[in-house]
Chain A
Amino acid sequence: MRVKTPIYGLMAEFNSPEGLLAAARRAHQDGYRRMDAYTPLPIEGLSQAIGFHRTRVPLIVLLGALAGCIGGFLLQYWIAAIYYPINVGGRPFNSWPSFIPVTFELTILLAAISAVVGMLALNGLPRPYHPVFNVPRFELASQNRFFLCIEARDSKFDQGRTRHFLEGLGSQGVYDVEP
């Protein structure tokens, strides 16, 4: 039976990345999907363990690079051949080899901006408020502790049973997360 809960979720604390990784795998096996893990350093395999496999960051970077490359070249072509042509000893206006350095720089520039902005946007940052910060111990998530949070919107979530499940995973403590 599902109980309507006013909380955001339940959060379990671990003192090692291995403990968290094992717990995340168990939770995923058990059928939990709406969860997230919080760690002070990137842990290899953790995002896969909670069921997150692919990111669109590379695609965004590729699109940015293409936009910079094509846009950069067209900008120079339009200026040098159409808008403001300068005749230097009868040489062609579309002197494309001289346009390569700026095309290259603009490719890198737009790709790098897309990498940063794309990563932040997909992560939903900047985001000053998030319910997980309501757990007092959560300040250690950026220092030396590892957290697993199962969210209340998960279809399998049940405050009592989920708490019992998390406690059985070898955690140091389980806390309610206020919304």
Chain B
Amino acid sequence: MPPPAPDRPTVLEEMPPVIEPGHSYASITDKISSIVLTQPTPKSWYLGFGVGFIFVMVLLVSASYLFVMGVGVWGINIPVGWGFAIVNFVWWIGIGHAGTLISAILLLMRQKWRQSINRFAEAMTLFAVACAGMFPIFHLGRPWFAYWLFPYPNTMGVQPNFRSPLVWDVFAVSTYFTVSLMFWYVGLIPDLATLRDRAKNRLVQITYGMLAMGWRGSARHWHRYEMAYLLLAGLATPLVVSVHTVVSFDFSIGLIPGWHSTMFPPYFVAGAIYSGFAMVLTLVIPIRRIYGLHDFITMRHLRHMGEVMLATGMIVAYGYLMETFIAWYGNAPYEKYMIANRMFGPYGWVFWLLMLFNVLVPQALWSRRVRENVPALFALSLCVLLGMWLERFVIVIVSLSRDFMPSAWGMYAPTIWDWGALTGALGFFIACMFLFIRFLPMISIFELRGLVAKVDEGTPA
């Protein structure tokens, strides 16, 4: 083989572009804003939103019944006091993390391939965190007192205990939601101005005009805007790592075997990004097809997302390996029993399914043919989503079901209301995503314009 030319490494030449050639500022603006403004809504949108909406109704029924009857309608009891609700909470929060990773960390690393998926991923983060936030509130027993979690002056003279990781969680998740919302909205402002200027209908003009806050693209404004955006990315980066760390503290500060581990924070963060990228792929693949966005979401994006999934999946697999190794090497009887119970106890089948979906199947991503095969990527990301949900099931429920004293052991079985809340939250997420792609530009128009300028200059994109 001849050596590669010194000025152009071969790796770049093999890479598909981040945006297909032949686009201009006008064509990008037109293509993305027409999805919101002029194109007829595709039938599959109604189908997708309809399914989501039905499950939103399921969520409302499940939540109403829960609020009237209390958490006893769920399968939880002593010893398994944390059931599906906490599994779902951790799973949803984790999914949100990929959005922040794409929008903030990849921005700081100047990865150009983030620019056609960041808006989408940020919206996903927002709705995933909203879904996550529901579950601890559902779990409170008296959710109408949820505000007691915050320190505020009150006549009861009572204040939260700041030594509890559950209180840390309140601050971590609410900060995460607020910062994600602001990051997303700030990114939307210039595109809202584009929609305002392209809209023909007066009401639509006024709506987007209000949301765009009178943005006029002044050079001074862009200067401050870019500075603020960069600083927000810099702030969101440690934040995203801290959120799942704090979530993992909910477990690792407890004494239950299977929870009490210093390995939890990095292992949780890697798992979060793993499931988050799987969710981005699960959403992007059908939407790219429905709206014909192959020019903007190219094979390059799908391939890179597959690579990130593979890398984080390997970190997660290392976590499983180390948990087992430490149990054996540490020689603590309860830890050893915890692993034996996890693998061969009554919930052993969940563990082996988890190994299959989270460790074994994703190894296919080593092959480039799989990374470039869209249906295979879609199937793999569904596997990972399911696998990560099972992982949280194993951590939360299997650990609680058998702790120190056999007389205190007990099994957990979800009731129909557990399933109602799980599927209902999924429906809420889907319905929100469909509303988002219908009413807001799902790809950042102004950031893509920056890519065209670079492509026009002839630099390798």
Inter-subunit contact B216/A41 (CB<8 Å): no
Inter-subunit contact A102/B168 (CB<8 Å): yes
**Secondary structure of the B side of the interface?**
helix
User: Which residue on A lies nearest to B183, using beta carbons?
Assistant: A112
Inter-subunit contact A101/B246 (CB<8 Å): yes
Binding stretch for chain B, among A2-10, A54-62, A155-163, A164-172: A54-62
Sample of 26 A–B contacts (CB below 8 Å):
A36-B218, A36-B220, A38-B218, A46-B219, A55-B227, A57-B224, A57-B227, A79-B162, A84-B158, A84-B159, A101-B172, A102-B171, A104-B238, A105-B172, A108-B179, A109-B179, A112-B235, A125-B221, A126-B213, A127-B213, A127-B214, A140-B197, A142-B190, A143-B194, A144-B25, A144-B29
* Residue from A52, A58, A128 within 8 A of B231 (CB atoms): A58
Contact (A43, B159) CB under 8 Å given A128-B209, A144-B25 = no
Contacts of A109 in B (CB 8 A): 175, 178-179
User: Which residue on B lies nearest to A120, using beta carbons?
Assistant: B213
- Alpha-carbon separation in the docked complex, A126 to B175 (Å): 24
Q: Which 6 A-B pairs have CB atoms at the shortest separation, nearest pair first?
A: A126-B213, A119-B228, A144-B25, A139-B197, A47-B223, A127-B214
* Residue from A84, A120, A143 within 8 A of B157 (CB atoms): A84
Contacts of A79 in B (CB 8 A): 151, 159-160, 162
5 new A-B contacts, CB < 8 A, other than A84-B159, A123-B221, A143-B29, are: A41-B449, A42-B446, A101-B249, A109-B179, A112-B232
* Residue from A95, A123, A126 within 8 A of B225 (CB atoms): A123
Contacts of A95 in B (CB 8 A): 163
Contact (A129, B228) CB under 8 Å given A36-B220, A101-B172, A102-B171 = no
- Alpha-carbon separation in the docked complex, A151 to B450 (Å): 28
* Residue from B168, B219, B246, B249 within 8 A of A50 (CB atoms): B219
Tell me the B residues contacting A by CB distance below 8 Å: 24-26, 29, 151, 157-163, 165, 167-168, 171-172, 175, 178-179, 182-183, 185-186, 190, 193-194, 196-198, 209-210, 213-228, 231-232, 235-236, 238-239, 242, 246, 249, 446-447, 449-450, 453
Inter-subunit contact A125/B215 (CB<8 Å): yes
In chain A, positions 62-98 with a C-beta closer than 8 Å to chain B are 75-76, 79-80, 83-84, 86, 88, 95, 98
Tell me the A residues contacting B by CB distance below 8 Å: 17, 24, 36-43, 46-47, 49-50, 52, 55, 57-58, 61, 75-76, 79-80, 83-84, 86, 88, 95, 98-99, 101-102, 104-106, 108-109, 111-113, 115-116, 118-120, 122-123, 125-130, 132-133, 138-144
Inter-subunit contact B217/A40 (CB<8 Å): yes
